[in-house]
Amino acid sequence: MDYQAVLEEVAAYARPFVGRGHVADYIPALARVSPDRFGIAVADINGDVYGTGDWEIPYSVQSISKAFSLALVMAGSHGDDDIWQRVGREPSGTPFNSLVQLEWENGIPRNPFINAGALVVTDRLLTMTGDASTSMLEFLQTESGNPELAFDQAVAGSEADHGDRNAALAHFMASFGNLENPVPSVIEHYFWQCSIEMSCRDLAVAGGFLARHGLRADGSRLLEAREAKRINAVMLTCGTYDAAGEFAYRVGLPAKSGVGGGIVAVVPGRCTLCVWSPGLDARGNSVAGMAALDHFTTLTGWSIF
């Protein structure tokens, strides 16, 4: 596969979609990003990486961090499936920050990729490591091979200043006994993990273990193959919020998106992709990013379907 040629063609296809949609502004610090950005990168399973456009510009990973926190919790649980007592693995069909299902379902979030579920996962990671956001940052630095990765303090602060809804989700779950740590610590670590800045290059390389059936960049094992399979399955069914059905229909790959405009997608056994363009559709997914991934699987025939 001539990845570079495919990426150039994908970028040309996506160009008319760049700037469409709306840059997230409910976290005010995210709104300073130019809507005209577009970048895409692919890391193959050998670690060779290709990219075009703004593929080396760092941006806020936001909810893409939820895939990594789940991976770290599963990796640290040594086969014990406890986390699935506290969070489900079904698509929610509701927006990523919705409160409504939680009351009906006794404080057990539908899946780990909506905010409520991610708060539970971060809570577990906090118990396991003592410092959830730093352990994630260190993992991402190592796995991406980029020691410069850092938190964006302005984004983390802005999110905390406007974090009433996430605080409400966390308090509500605490009232059902579904948090192990105090609400302020859980939401603080969640805000910090969302604020990590990475480029498409960094994210494609760091997500390589999902394409390598659980093997890290250095060849050591992070996850059992069946655990990597499960994360990819939950990404497919829940990774793009209440648009996961539409995403499977158009793209057909496990993926995790974030309101920073990034989407990480996995072709198991072949490569990990990351695309970024900040204009979001009404469900919080990058408009040009979805168009690009749609065209990528059309060109390559690599939809898992």
Catalytic residues: 63, 66, 190, 241, 259
C-alpha span between 110 and 59 (Å, rounded):
28
Q: Is 159 among the annotated ligand-binding positions?
A: yes
Residues 6+ apart with CB under 8 A from 264: 64, 67, 203, 204, 207, 255, 256, 257, 272, 273, 274
Q: Map residues 33-72 to x or -, x wherever contact with ligand GLN holds by CB under 6 A.
A: -----------------------------xx---------
Is position 284 an interface residue for ligand GLN (rule: CB under 6 A)?
Answer: yes
Taking the complex as a whole, how short is the minimal distance between the CB of residue 167 and ligand GLN, in angstroms?
10
Q: Shortest distance, CB of residue 4 to ligand GLN, whole angstroms?
A: 29
Instruction: Provide, rounded to whole angstroms, the least separation between the CB of residue 190 and ligand GLN.
Output: 7
> In angstroms, what is the minimal distance from the CB of 224 to ligand GLN?
28
Q: Is 63 one of the annotated binding-site residues?
A: yes
158 is in an annotated binding site: no
Binding of ligand GLN at residue 258 (CB under 6 A)?
A: yes
Asked whether position 98 contacts ligand GLN by CB under 6 A, the answer is no
Other C-beta atoms closer than 10 Å to the C-beta of 293 total 27
Q: Which residues inside 198-257 make contact with ligand GLN, applying CB under 6 A?
A: none
Give the residue with the Cβ less far from ligand GLN, 115 or 199: 115
> Helices 287-300 and 3-14 meet at what angle, rounded to 10?
140
271/280 with CB nearer ligand GLN? 280
Measured from the Cβ of residue 12, the count of other Cβ atoms closer than 10 Å reads 11
In the set 135, 166, 178, 272, which binds ligand GLN (CB under 6 A)? 166
Interaction between residue 96 and ligand GLN (CB under 6 A): yes
Q: Is 170 in the site for ligand GLN (CB under 6 A)?
A: no
DSSP notation for the chain: --HHHHHHHHHHHHGGGTT-SB---SSGGGGGS-TT--EEEEEETTS-EEEEESTTS-EE-GGGHHHHHHHHHHHHTTT--THHHHS--S---S-TT--HHHHHTTT--S-TTSHHHHHHHHHHHHHHHS-HHHHHHHHHHHHHT-TT-EE-HHHHHHHHHT-HHHHHHHHHHHHTT--SS-HHHHHHHHHHHHHEEE-HHHHHHHTHHHHTTTB-TTS-BSS-HHHHHHHHHHHHHHTTGGGHHHHHHHT-S-EEE-TTSEEEEEETTTEEEEEE---B-TTS-BHHHHHHHHHHHHHH--S--
Q: How far is the CB of 213 from ligand GLN (least distance, A)?
A: 26
Measured from the CB atom, is 124 or 189 closer to ligand GLN? Answer: 189
192 binds ligand GLN (CB under 6 A): no
Binding flag, residue 111, ligand GLN (CB under 6 A): no
When binding is defined by CB under 6 A, the residue of 42, 74, 183, 194 that contacts ligand GLN is 194
Asked if residue 259 binds ligand GLN (CB under 6 A), the reply is yes
Indicate whether 113 belongs to the interface with ligand GLN (CB under 6 A): no
Residues binding ligand GLN: what is the number (CB under 6 A)?
A: 11
Which residues of the chain form contacts with ligand GLN (CB under 6 A)? 62-63, 96-97, 115, 159, 166, 194, 258-259, 284
Q: Which residues are annotated as a binding site for substrate?
A: 63, 115, 159, 166, 190, 241, 259
